[in-house]
Amino acid sequence: MNLHEYQAKRLFAKEGVPIPHGDVASTPTQARAVARDLGGKVVVKAQVLTGGRGKAGGVKLANTPDEAEALARRILGMNIKGLTVRKVLIDEQSPGIQQEIYLAVLIDRARRLPMMMASAAGGMDIEEVAETAPEKIFRVHIDPNIGLRQYQTTYLASGMDLPQNLWPDFHKVAAGLYAAFLKNDASLAEINPLVITGAGKLMALDGKMSIDDNALYRHADLEEMRDVDEEPPAEQEARLSGVNYIQLDGEIGCMVNGAGLAMATMDIIKLFGGEPANFLDIGGGAKSDQVATALRIILSDPRVKAVLFNVFGGIVRGDEVARGIIEALSQIDASVPMVVRLLGTNAEEGLRILEEANMATATTLSEAAQKAVQLAKGVQR
């Protein structure tokens, strides 16, 4: 679950990370009131869950409350990369900026450890820095049993040529960011940019945070921060139904039980020349109603030209999956071909149900993937 900038920065501030004074507004009138309270010189920032807001015209400087109101009126309702701006953050302007720094904590999955990254090339996409000047990125891995140590932040500060008098403050900011990352079960906590102001102080001007969905049961307060308006409708329906679904750009819809099997299914589709249209894991104990919901979600994507079912029954039963497929097909107009590979618990019963409904089946995953790719090439939607 991704948080808006204002939400992330508030969580950072709870751990001692300095942020500008500001507040969020959903109307131009509210924006004017916030700007007035802040003295008039403010930044009006679109709150949408995507990058590139500044380039799209979603970040503007205002010098008076009237200007802030006018800019908010222009930005609210703006479409940025397919997302509608419904809120703006009104922050006080930083009194001069000497330097912009990138600072983030994320999970290094290869090392199975949290990792802190820092770069003096802040204020721009870190991917671009990694590609054009990788030597400007410095990394330290954090042992969760020990925590972030001062010698590690000293290494980062030294590598970035940060003025030595700011090293203690940099440690406090870095430690606060790591604390926010840890306490909120985040997979990413990012400040870009962390600036040195004209007064020689560090301040987090922007923030990003991604929360691990699997840990949200421990954070009712964070669950309430979810912006359902920014979720694709299909992903929202899947989440409410207990189905793990991520939309992709391909043409072959995938319904699989188990995340690892789902990844393998996507890989083998690509191996045979196709492109997966989604990642979809119905889970280990899916019932027929969940299967029906999952199929409706897959077919709601107009790019899908074929559907591949790959279900290995352990806890989930093959006959339940088959009934879910038949139930879904009775409720929707499905014009795309489908291939089912079904093994495991009650698989024979499930295959019998599917064969009675004249559905194509396959014994191996390779056979199923090849059939799906061939069928997709012959379909026009």
Q: Is the preceding peptide bond at 114 cis, omega within 30 degrees of 0?
A: no
- How do 88-92 and 97-108 pair as beta strands? unpaired
Our CA angle for 27, 220, 81, nearest 5°, is: 45
Residue positions counted in the chain: 381
Which of 5, 15, 67, 190 is catalytic? The answer is 190
Residue with tokens 């995953």: 365
- Look at residues 198, 252, 203, 228 and name the one whose alpha carbon lies nearest to residue 376: 252
* Catalytic-residue membership of 348: no
d(CA 333, CA 24): 44
Pick from 273, 241, 245: nearest CA to 259: 245
Identified catalytic residue from 102, 245, 251, 320: 102
- 84 CB neighbour count, 10 Å cutoff: 13
Q: In the 8-state DSSP scheme, what is residue 276?
A: B
In the block, tokens 């043409």 appear at 251
The whole-angstrom separation of Cα 110 and Cα 240 is: 31
Active site residue 102: yes
Q: Name every residue whose Cβ is closer than 8 Å to that of residue 112 and which is 6 or more positions away in sequence.
A: none
What's the burial of 333, exposed, middle or buried (CB within 10 Å: 0-12/13-18/19+)? Answer: exposed
Beta bridge partners of 308: 254, 339
- β-strand 278-281 against 244-247: which pairing, if any? antiparallel
Which residues are registered as beta bridge partners of 211?
186
In terms of Cα–Cα distance, which of 180, 207, 112, 116 is closest to 154?
116
Q: How wide is the angle at C-alpha 305 spanned by C-alphas 302 and 308, nearest 5°?
A: 115
Cβ atoms of residues 274 and 252 within 8 Å: yes
Catalytic residues, by residue number, are 102, 190
